[in-house]
Structure 1
């Protein structure tokens, strides 16, 4: 059974309850002062506490999508397997269809009413990275009225480590767009949903790491090329946006600011403004201090020309650690960059806060993109 399986969570809860009841039942018998009774009490307490922690941890993981599998949890995730059954584009790029997912909305089995989620494997020609993605095609993509029309697209990223499935199962990006489309509040937009961890288990922070994974190249060149060659999507920057939460938010801002030729619009939900350097990232910049400064967005605003892009940042006055940096980022923004924000009175760094921000942010994003 998988890490995110409801059966695993239910089993963990039942074990925790059973051990708690067993501890209460056996405690009088283990009240003696001999070493066996003491070891019995210690063993029961330890087993009960571990089972409770396991149940709480599994519940938190299912709610927030930190890890997708047992291998992911223990840092043993394997690279994607050998690719077969490719669909080859006119310029030789490759994208493999892995299946489809149903949208949890009314008439979810009918693409022309609900849209469709394609699971694909993107092969990075320039970066050498292969990574899965979930591509949400809005209902209009399947309607005769739009049969010859190209659509704008948005890359949607999770935080680290995150799971791409959480973007439609927990944060409900496709469902939110479906609702906004029904109210005529945004243009139909293709959503390419991924996690930024394309070289697991390393947190690459969307950086082209010297002598390491070329993550920035994958997102700004390979992904856009593969997707536009296999779907009816505009290829120019004005047709492409990028949106993410936490680490994904930092990636979104950085890719638009560093590559306005790739992404014209970016949204950062609780995003950071520079990459951390810790055990999960390793040395991202290969000792190159200039490269490190150029990936610090606040430094970039002060010392480099402002790109002609649209940016939206979010934070909370209480509960978010990035509030003061977000306000500083807004104040430092110079033309021709255009800046907008969503600032809540209170809200933590979590799914609940982002679900409150996503409808307005997705509407803003969709209405800044054209095909």
Structure 2
């Protein structure tokens, strides 16, 4: 009984429903309580304005640091600084009103400040939808996680093709997730642990040879992002349930090296992430997993930075990743400013940068062997024009391009549904029966 209650509680949504409403309501109520902590004129006329001014200054400093350091090239939606500012205002009011309060009023102030901070954090989360549930926000182990040894266990000597495979009795109803460190043997890239999803068919003793999809996160981001924000395991479990347990094996490696690192999916002064993703990761997949060795049935995809990276990898290695999925990606690798980008990567050598820039590569030769699925949010004013430019460049280079424009902006409101919408296309292009 306790386990069911725990599963229910940690499965509650943070971006919609009763808990989300309660957290946002707590934010408003907490601010009101903190504003009314004292009844004297000095509090209302001096200390409240000073507290709010302090919160505004802190928010301004934080935004200035983002502009100066540029940990990620994307701008922040206006709701993000708004919620952050409200959280800072709650903390500043709690500190400013601490003196002169009785112990029980201090307890109420702490609870009110906590409610404000939690409500503000939930407000930011509702913008991006990166952590849709309590479990994902707490980074609890996924319910279907298994040791990596159960994924790398050898299967049959002569596995069948998916089209010729018959599900055995006792096949698991769901797939499984496992975490693994993929060695950077050739690249030396400082990658974080990856995640692997295997469908029900793979978990049988007589598994078929399944295709491989490599999915990459945005920046900032982590290797769990497609599992948490994208609900990848649930989406593919549902697909497998309707297709005799068949779905791809999905590997989610680290393309960054750190939450806010930005190696631009290149081999440059910023690190050798391109070699890690095109050499080390495929080598590990081929040696550790029993999957289809035919790269005609492999695909790479990602969101935002990961979508740009998928474009780069597929254009640079069309025989390795002839199919790619790009949702909300950019036109090419960037740190925000073209000059700064070339300087940071190749010491100002524009020709060296152009040689690995996907739009330059697409303009230089044709890629009739590639198939691309390019998706973007209708309200994504920064990335939608870039997606349109990429789709046009791909088409001009002979690539078979499918495009999709979804309701929403630059968030999981678009990225998860984009993957869902691309599933029939991806499975068809990677050799799974549809």
Q: What TM-score range do you get, normalising by the shorter chain? A: 0.7 to 0.9
**CA pair 270-199 structure 1, distance change in 2 beyond 3 A:** same
Structure 2: gaps spanning 5 or more residues: 1-11, 15-19, 56-87, 92-112, 132-147, 153-169
Q: CA deviation at 1:186?
A: 9.8
Greater strand proportion: 1
SS in structure 2 at match of 1:284? helix
Q: In 2, are the aligned partners of 1:274 and 1:295 still within 8 Å (CA)?
A: no
Q: How far does residue 309 in structure 1 lie from its aligned partner after superposition?
A: 1.4
Is 2:35 the counterpart of 1:23?
A: yes
Q: Which residue of the other structure, out of 87, 107, 125, is the alignment partner of 2:185?
A: 125
Q: TM-score, normalised by structure 1?
A: 0.74
Deviations 1:220-241 (A, max 9, x none): 1100111221111123321321
1:214 to 257, 262, 272: 272
For residue 86 of structure 1, report the CA deviation from its aligned partner: 10
RMSD over aligned Cα atoms: 3.6
Matching residue of 2:209: 150
Residue 328 of structure 1: CA displacement? Answer: 3.3
Equivalents in 2 of 1:186, 1:288: separation in Å? 50
- Aligned residue for 1:167, secondary structure, equals helix
Partners of 2:358 and 2:245 lie apart in 1 by: 29
Select the residue among 364, 387, 390 that pairs with 1:326: 387
- More helix as a share of residues: 2
Q: Select the residue among 377, 397, 414 that pairs with 1:353.
A: 414
**Given the alignment, which residue of 124, 130, 136 partners 1:60?**
124
- Between 1:220-229 and 1:276-285, the stretch displaced more is 276-285
Q: The residue matched to 1:234 in structure 2 has which SS?
A: coil
Give yes or no for the alignment of 1:114 onto 2:180.
no
- Distance in 2, matches of 1:255 and 1:295, equals 10
Give the Cα–Cα distance (whole angstroms) in 1 for the partners of residues 385 and 49 of structure 2.
47
Mean alpha-carbon deviation: is it higher for 355-364 or for 315-324?
315-324
Distance of aligned partners of 1:53 and 1:142 in 2 relative to their CA distance in 1, 3 Å threshold: closer
The alpha-carbon distance between structure 1 residues 262 and 64, as it changes in their structure 2 partners (threshold 3 A), is: same
Instruction: Structure 1: give runs of 5+ residues left out of the alignment.
Output: 1-5, 67-84, 90-109
Q: How does 1:33-182 map to 2 (within 5 A)?
A: 38-42=45-49, 44-45=51-52, 46=55, 48-50=89-91, 52=116, 55-57=119-121, 59-61=123-125, 64-65=129-130, 112-129=172-189, 130-144=191-205, 146-147=206-207, 149-182=208-241
Distance 1:320 1:355, change over 3 A: farther
Shift of residue 274 of structure 1?
A: 1.1
Q: Larger radius of gyration, structure 1 or 2? A: 2
Corresponding pairs, count: 318
Q: SS state of the match for residue 173, structure 2?
A: helix
Contact 1:204/1:213 (<8 A) preserved: yes
Partners of 1:15 and 1:258 lie apart in 2 by 48
Report if aligned partners of 2:295, 2:322 keep a CA contact under 8 Å in 1: yes
CA separation of 1:216 and 1:13: change in aligned 2, threshold 3 A:
farther
Correspondence list, 1:249-328, <5 A: 249-278=307-336, 283-306=344-367, 308-328=369-389
2: CA distance, partners of 1:283 / 1:57: 33
CA change 1:116–1:39 in 2 (3 A) is same
Query: Residues 134-166 of structure 1: CA distance to partner in whole angstroms, max 9, x if unpaired?
Result: 10010000124x43x322111111110122223
- Distance (whole Å) between structure 1 residues aligned to residue 149 and residue 418 of structure 2: 38
What SS does the corresponding residue of 1:206 show, helix, strand or coil? Answer: coil
TM-score when scaled to structure 2? 0.64
How far apart, CA to CA, are the structure 2 residues paired with 1:240 and 1:221? 14
Partner SS state of residue 267, structure 1: strand
Cα distance in 2, alignment partners of residues 187 and 11 from structure 1: 39
Tell me if the contact between 1:186 and 1:367 (Cα under 8 Å) persists in the aligned partners: no
Evaluate the alpha carbon distance shift between residue 255 and residue 56 of structure 1 in structure 2; reply closer, same or farther with a 3 A threshold: same
1:325 CA drift (Å)? 3.3
